[in-house]
Structure 1
Amino acid sequence: MTELDRHPHIFNFPVKITSENTLYQYTNATRMLRCLKLIIAFVFGLAVLMIYQAASGKTEKIGFWLMLAVLGVILLPMGYFIIKAMKGK
Structure 2
Amino acid sequence: MCHILGWTIGDVFGNSQVVEHPLARGKLHISLEVDEQKITAFGTPDQIDQHILNCIQKLCSPTGGLSLHYTAYLGTPISSVESVVRARDKHHNSWN
- Normalised to the residue count of structure 1, the TM-score between the two structures is 0.29
- Work out which structure has the larger RCO, using CA pairs closer than 8 Å and 6 or more positions apart in sequence: 1
The structure richer in strand per residue is 2
- TM-score normalised by the chain length of structure 2: 0.28
The structure with the largest alpha-carbon Rg is 1
